[in-house]
């Protein structure tokens, strides 16, 4: 039965989004604690969970499409459209709960992501100010790793 498969897929997506929220909150704690040496690991873990979320999203679309055919919903039906097309019984309520939970998780993810982005910008700005306050410019380096001489030509990218 297609409704059961879609419901299981939505549970899987919810679990992955909860894991993503956990990883983002870990990143936030690392930033707040000043443990920036671990940020690369946290970021890699976030990217791994995001890959799993993308894969789960594709699987959800496949399951939803099969269920839309079964229930006579439009092709490419959303969860809301499937709820509207669902036969009487437990499925409308079950999918409504999935939709509510996914909406809540998505909002929480956006808040934590935005807060982390702000913290990362603050850390980057503080690092740049610290480097600028050292007095000597960090300088440029040649392809061999030697410090470039002040008289050498420079290419400046103005398209950023």
pLDDT tens digits in sequence order for the chain, 160 residues long: 699 999 999 999 999 999 999 999 999 999 999 898 999 999 999 999 999 999 999 999 999 999 999 999 999 999 999 999 999 999 999 999 999 999 999 999 999 999 999 998 988 888 888 877 776 555 677 777 777 666 555 566 667 5
| 63 phi/psi in degrees, rounded to 5 | -65, -40
CA–CA gap between residue 24 and residue 21 (Å, rounded): 5
**Residues whose CB is less than 8 angstroms from the CB of residue 107 and which lie 6 or more positions away in sequence, other chains included:** none
89 token code pair? 């019984």
Looking from the CA of 33 toward its CB, the CA atoms found within 13 Å total 10
Q: Calculate the dihedral angle through the C-alpha atoms of 73, 79, 85, 91, rounding to the nearest 10 degrees.
A: 130
Ordered by where they begin, the domains of the chain are: 2-133 (1.20.58)
105 and 18 in contact (C-beta within 8 Å)? yes
Residue 136: its pLDDT value, please? 57
Q: Which of 61, 54, 24, 22 is nearest to 39 (CA)?
A: 24
Residue 123: its pLDDT value, please? 82
């Amino acid at each position: 039965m297609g409704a059961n498969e879609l419901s299981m897929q939505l549970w899987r997506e919810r679990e992955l989004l909860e894991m993503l929220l956990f990883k983002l909150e870990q990143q936030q704690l690392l930033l707040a604690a000043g443990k920036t040496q671990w940020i690369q690991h946290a970021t890699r873990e976030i990217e791994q969970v995001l890959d799993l979320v993308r894969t789960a999203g594709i699987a959800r679309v496949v399951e939803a499409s099969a269920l839309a055919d079964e229930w006579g919903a439009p092709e490419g039906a959303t969860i809301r459209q499937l709820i509207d097309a669902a036969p009487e019984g437990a499925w409308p309520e079950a999918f409504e709960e999935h939709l509510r939970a996914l909406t809540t998780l998505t909002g929480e993810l956006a808040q934590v992501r935005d807060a982390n982005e702000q913290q990362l910008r603050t850390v980057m700005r503080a690092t740049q100010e610290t480097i600028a306050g050292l007095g000597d410019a960090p300088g440029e380096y040649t392809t061999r790793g030697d410090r470039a001489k002040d008289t050498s030509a420079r290419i400046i990218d103005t398209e950023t």
